[in-house]
Chains A and B, each alone.
Chain A
Amino acid sequence: MTQLILFNVFNGLIIGAFYALMALGLSLILNLSGVINFAHGGFLALGAYIAYSLSPHIGFWGALVVAPVATAVVGLVVERVLIRRVYGRDPLYSLLLTFGLAYIFEDVLRYIWGAQSVPFPIPPALASPLSPEYFFLTGYRLFMVALVAAAVVALFVILNRTKLGIRIRAGTQDLETVNVLGVNVRILRNLNFGLGTYLAGLAGVLAAGMLGLQPTIGTSLIMPSFVAIIVGGLGSLPGTLLGGLLIGVASGLTTMFFPSATEAVMYVMMGLVLLVRPRGLLGEEGRVQ
């Protein structure tokens, strides 16, 4: 029994780590540019498929390094060509624009790589369970948790210690002042979007190894990421991280006791949070209005 509970909690943590990684990228873009990037799931899927195509040539490790960077490059271009045009306009337009992009992404991926689910091979060294008693602790799962943790730490170091990160945080508070102080806001937003899509690409590679690959992989992960942001609190990256892990563990545990409510439970959590604390667990006051 304890083993089963542990298994489900651990499973939930892994799923939660995905949600968090994806939601952090969404949050970064939303906080600085006020754009809900509906196409974020598309970027995730793109990263996964790039890794799938590259790994026979440069191996899993090479793909793990290159695919997120390639995704970020696509992100930089998309921001430069399209997203930039809707900054400062009614949020309606950025939603519709990224919504359309999400459609295009899914269809193009299906066109190139096919609608069927394809397996994504992971290194054999990581695939086997570590001990027969804790069968669910494969090397790959532990590795994933460690990598997500490392990525999150790296993100917070970038945001707190580097010039770029400090400017991003400052811009989140007051973009106009940052602009007046001589920072090129266009480039800042561009790089920030790239950083967000990098995280999506990284989450994509990891998700592919665990869930397999199909064109709709991104769309199935984006709604939970929204929930993670709302539960954690708008404007707070630690909140987003917490929100992702919480809903992951909650749906992991629900799978065990009441499987048909696996997805519904996170929306119930969101309802509760909105009822008790509309700004989210760690959200800033006044941000929601």
Chain B
Amino acid sequence: MTRLEKPALTAFVWLALLTMPWWMNAIGGYTELASRVLVLGLAAMALNFLLGYTGVLSFGHAAYFGLGAYGVGMMIKFVVPSTPLGMLVGVATGTVAAAVLGLLIVKLRGVYFAMVTIAFGQVFYFIAFRWNSVTGGDDGLTGWKRQALDLGFTQVDLLGNDRAFYYFLLFVFALAVGAMALILRSPFGRTLVAIRENERRARFLGIPVERHIWLSFVISCFFVSLAGTLYALLNNFVDPRALRWDQSGNFVIMAVLGGMRSFWGPLVGAAIFVVLQDYVSSHTENWMSFVGLFFVLVVLFFPRGVMGILARRRATDATKEGA
């Protein structure tokens, strides 16, 4: 079985994540910022499952992210005040929606796929925006809070204790990322990469390409809805902006900035994006221009992303040593 990343890199990433609440505070951030990195990192990695490993360009992942967020919020607010049950409902909502819409779009490719996913993403935005009585409309869904986690022998206070909540997020993140890595290392995952590399050839080998792309889309949306539920829990709040198109664009830029061909790349991209956005928006009102400029610069100068550049540098060093 091939490894996705070098073991040393993976160990380093986990070490950095385990100690993030400390070093994030040391570099002038705060624990909640660390939590944001984790949640949006998971979303970007989920998107990259489709974008980087299947080669399909979805620009509407915020829809499923937002469905997860609204799912957990509405469950806790209206039905049962339970964090795990809320998450279950949120993830189920996002995944079912993706499974249905996925059927409509699996035949499309490239730009066309991107355009349809963007447009479909907006449906949920308008529903959240217009359906005031239930979703709170433009003001967002308020009046609910994440609930303490009941483990049977003890209770974990997720609300009052920032650190405890961070490690709860890290636990969920670890489960999700582990599952993603397992899927990617399985024969199914290798088939997705084959489709990315040469779709026609994969089809000639008898692989049902549409079914694989549909499955990949649904799996990717499953994980992005999970990230959405965590995002809602983190903020104790959801608003329609969580599922608008600009959020989808942010996920894509995180994946590209970190490196689409790398398993951890999108997490690195999310960390850079989140910290930079936090810094810039606390210093200027015109942060949109900065984010926009950032998009342009990444496309023009860093299309391979951070991990891509590192990998290439290593490769050239190796050739030099060989010569």
Chain A residues in contact with chain B, CB under 8 A?
30, 34, 36, 82, 85-86, 89-93, 95-97, 99-108, 111, 223, 226-227, 229-230, 234, 260-261, 263-264, 267, 270-271, 274-275, 278, 287-289
Contact = CB atoms under 8 A, between A and B. Distances in A.
B286 interface: yes
Contacts of B131: 260
Given A100-B292, A263-B130, A95 B114 contact: yes
A176 B246 CA distance: 35
Contact of A100 (B110, B114, B126, B296): B296
Contacts of B303: 89, 93
A86 B111 contact: no
Interface string B243-273: 0011001001100100000000000000000
A274 B123 CA distance: 15
Given A95-B114, A100-B299, A274 B289 contact: no
Contacts of B296: 82, 97, 100-101, 104
B116 A108 contact: no
A107 B294 CA distance: 14
Interface string B114-144: 1110111011001100110000000000000
B293 interface: yes
Contacts, number: 123
Contacts of B295: 96-97, 99-101, 103
9 contacts: A82-B296, A96-B253, A99-B292, A100-B296, A101-B295, A101-B296, A103-B289, A226-B119, A230-B119
B59 interface: yes
A268 B50 CA distance: 25
B126 A264 contact: yes
B104 interface: yes
A274 B300 contact: no
A275 B104 contact: yes
A59 B300 CA distance: 41
Contacts of A99: 249, 253, 292, 295
Contact of A230 (B115, B245, B256): B115
A107 B119 contact: no
A97 B123 CA distance: 24
Nearest to B100: A271
Contact of B108 (A97, A105, A289): A289
Given A86-B299, A226-B119, A264 B292 contact: no
B115 A288 contact: no
A274 B120 CA distance: 11
B107 interface: yes
Most A-side CB within 10 Å, residue of B246, B288, B291, B298: B288
Given A86-B299, A106-B288, A267-B122, A96 B111 contact: no
Contacts of B111: 30, 34, 36, 91, 95
Interface residues of B, number: 43
B112 interface: yes
B293 A267 contact: no
A263 B245 CA distance: 15
Interface of B: 51, 57, 59, 101, 104-105, 107-112, 114-116, 118-120, 122-123, 126-127, 130-131, 245-246, 249, 252-253, 256, 286, 288-289, 291-296, 298-300, 303
Given A86-B299, A92-B256, A278-B108, A107 B123 contact: no
A239 to B, nearest CB: 13
A83 B154 CA distance: 58
Given A226-B119, A267-B119, A288-B107, A104 B289 contact: yes
Contacts of A101: 292, 295-296
A264 B119 contact: no
A143 B130 CA distance: 32
Closest 7 CB pairs between A and B? Answer: A100-B295, A103-B292, A104-B292, A107-B288, A263-B126, A100-B292, A107-B289
B115 A96 contact: no
Nearest to A283: B112
Contacts of B127: 264
B119 A288 contact: no
A288 B253 CA distance: 25
Given A96-B298, A103-B289, A104-B288, A91 B253 contact: no
Given A105-B292, A263-B126, A267-B120, 14 more contacts: A85-B300, A92-B57, A95-B252, A96-B256, A96-B298, A97-B295, A99-B253, A102-B292, A107-B286, A107-B292, A223-B245, A230-B116, A270-B119, A271-B120
B288 A288 contact: no
B298 A104 contact: no
Nearest to B115: A226
A91 B123 CA distance: 23
A106 B245 CA distance: 15
B246 to A, nearest CB: 8
Contacts of B288: 103-104, 106-107
Nearest to A34: B111
